[in-house]
Structure 1
Amino acid sequence: MQYKDYYQIMGLSRSANQAEIKRAYRKLARKYHPDVSKEPDAEAKFKELGEAYEVLKDPQKRAAYDKLGSNWKAGEDFSPPPKWDEGFEFRGGGFTGGDANAFSAFFAQLFGRDGFRPADQVPHGFRVRGQDSHAKIYIDLEDSIQGATRNISLSTPEMDAQGRVQIKHRNLNIKIPKGVKPGQHIRLAGQGDPGLGDGKSGDLLLEIAFNNHPLYRVSGTDIYLDLPVTPWEARLGAKIKIPTPVGTVDLKIPPHSEQGTKLRLKGHGLPAKTPGDFYVVLQIALPPAHSEEAKAAYQKMQHEFDFNPRVSLGV
């Protein structure tokens, strides 16, 4: 996927205010509109311009895009930095114009095709509920297993009087319920946009993601551990201790186990109405052969075992 420099597309500096963005779009839209332009690539440029304007005219999308930094060049291979969207609060959101499905893969990777749904039109009156806001937060696996209270920091883009985007920060103490999974949301009532008049404030929806864990990976409600074992433990069987997110447990390795053998601890995954399972995936580890004694041991195995692991390949 290629990086798109939206400022370059619109001929703007990164410090441009909203009025400058609007003027640049109007000028370029007239130049490249397919109905009037004689430029050979007018349609493609017009679509690219519309995508750039969709991002830069929206304070939330622009602030998120700016968070990627300015070291990228247009056309470079690109993937979003890890956790680039952590704690970034989007209020209302929405596609404010154009067809999101016509936008590039770069746009979709950052903002999704149907994410940031358009906000409802606010009716006249004095009891208008505030819009919901959205943010993504990263928690530890152990927070989901045990439940936790955490302090989180959120960043919200707002427009100042000069039409420039300013970032405001706020901290919240939140309760993380047991068993929450990646992709699920925690709803904080009344923490979204304030209402009009006597209208209630909207809610804050926190999308959950897990921090990368040095030992475990999660799939649905199941937890996986790649467990190194010796060749003799795999072939002869063994009883060993293994780590889990709630402490060490004894695990019996059956004789004749193979590389990749999967062993299940039922109900030891994420808490749920039907709890997930904990899977141990055996990874056979070979001892090093740095000493003469170790090399001699391997040579003895070579002579004593009539073993060709490539028989199935016909060689």
Structure 2
Amino acid sequence: MRHDPYYILGVKRDATQKDIQSAFRKLAKKHHPDLNPGDRPAEERFKEISTAYELLSDEQKRARFDRGEIDMSGAEQAPRHYYRDYASASGPSDPYHNSASFADFGETEDPFSAFFSRRTSGGQFRSKGQDRYFSMAVDFLDAVNGAKTHVMLPDGITLDVQIPAGTRDGQTLRLGGKGEPGVGGGPPGDALIEVHVPPHRFFQRDGDDIRLELPISLDEAVLGAKIRAPTPTGPVTLTVPPYSNSGKILRLKDKGVPKRGGGRGDLFVILKIVLPDTPDPRLIALMREWSEASRQDPRKSMGAAP
């Protein structure tokens, strides 16, 4: 069964091209080497998936495989026996007799091949080559800012890829002329690469905006401060207003994702007050003194007062 492309992609034999493409993308996203670094079984599985998809996405190769003329790698198979080998009747009364003087399909070349041969012999039939489908992982910041990288195809060929600024997870990039060769002198197909962007450690994308949860100390929150904060294009200095609560949002204009029509989204910084890693006796004493004097109830508006 491992030599059956339908079994490998998990689709039925009557699956549509859309079904086949969807199954390939789902499996490629799971087993792509860029998403499974150092995982040799995943790499081998990805090659197997790509080989199966390359055959089934080509209608002519798929038809030849279904007829048993080629195996999954595209190698020619030994001819199959057809009904005439087992028919006992002959002549006009034979239900398998062909009175129109056409030879049986099992004994001559593929009639579709003959048709295409006639069309190409005069130089009239030209067809664009099949597109090829791949997937690759792209770093979060490379997807936001744009970058040049490369992708290695299952056949060992390396393609240079320009990642446009603002590329989204799941977006498909088209590399013109990097697909299968054309037929009869037709142009080659394209390489279609689906991009997968793993989550960042602290940036979160929201459309063209980015959100960042930024830790600040208790004294920075109470007294205010000028602090350094990371952005997709490098660190900047921002001002924390005095008496800032956790959850307060500061907006950094044009520090988000580049937009297709020009400009950039914004970076929204969510402040998060963080206490020292090690308990400080002086801070504890100060808080006890302050608590007794203030008697603050931050949950009063929720009806949670004792």
Taking the aligned partners of 2:136 and 2:184, their CA distance within structure 1 comes to 31
Q: Residue 224 of structure 1 corresponds to which residue in structure 2?
A: 211
Q: Residue 292 of structure 2 corresponds to which residue in structure 1?
A: 303
One-letter code aligned to 1:134:
Y
Taking the aligned partners of 1:215 and 1:246, their CA distance within structure 2 comes to 14
Q: Residue 30 of structure 1 corresponds to which residue in structure 2?
A: none
Deviation at 1:274, TM superposition (A): 3.1
The farther-off stretch of 60-69 and 135-144 is 60-69
Q: Residue 100 of structure 1 corresponds to which residue in structure 2?
A: none
Deviation at 1:189, TM superposition (A): 0.6
Structure 1: gaps of 5 or more residues: 1-14, 22-48, 70-81, 97-121, 156-167
**CA distance 1:286–1:152, change in 2 (3 Å):** same
Q: Residue 18 of structure 1 corresponds to which residue in structure 2?
A: 4
1:182-201 aligned at under 5 Å gives the runs 182-201=169-188
Structure 2: gaps of 5 or more residues: 37-41, 60-112, 120-124
Q: Is the 8 A contact 2:143 2:197 kept in 1?
A: no
Please identify which structure carries the higher strand content.
1
Taking the aligned partners of 2:169 and 2:241, their CA distance within structure 1 comes to 33
1:198-213 aligned at under 5 Å gives the runs 198-213=185-200
SS of match in other structure, 1:290: coil
Deviation at 1:276, TM superposition (A): 1.1
SS of match in other structure, 1:244: coil
Taking the aligned partners of 2:300 and 2:133, their CA distance within structure 1 comes to 57
**CA distance 1:234–1:53, change in 2 (3 Å):** farther
- Superposed CA RMSD in Å reads 4.2
Taking the aligned partners of 1:264 and 1:306, their CA distance within structure 2 comes to 33
Note if 1:264 corresponds to 2:263.
Answer: no
Q: Residue 264 of structure 2 corresponds to which residue in structure 1?
A: 275
Q: Residue 178 of structure 1 corresponds to which residue in structure 2?
A: 165
**What do the CA deviations read for 1:113-169 (whole angstroms, capped 9, x no partner)?**
xxxxxxxxx9944411112222232212332344322122233xxxxxxxxxxxx44
Deviation at 1:251, TM superposition (A): 0.5
Q: Which has the larger radius of gyration?
A: 2
Deviation at 1:294, TM superposition (A): 4.2
Question: What TM-score, normalized by structure 1, do the two folds share?
Answer: 0.58
Taking the aligned partners of 2:258 and 2:24, their CA distance within structure 1 comes to 38
Larger RCO: Structure 1 or Structure 2 (Cα < 8 Å, ≥ 6 residues apart)? Answer: 1
1:105-184 aligned at under 5 Å gives the runs 124=116, 125=119, 126-155=125-154, 168-184=155-171
One-letter code aligned to 1:127:
R
Give the number of aligned pairs: 225
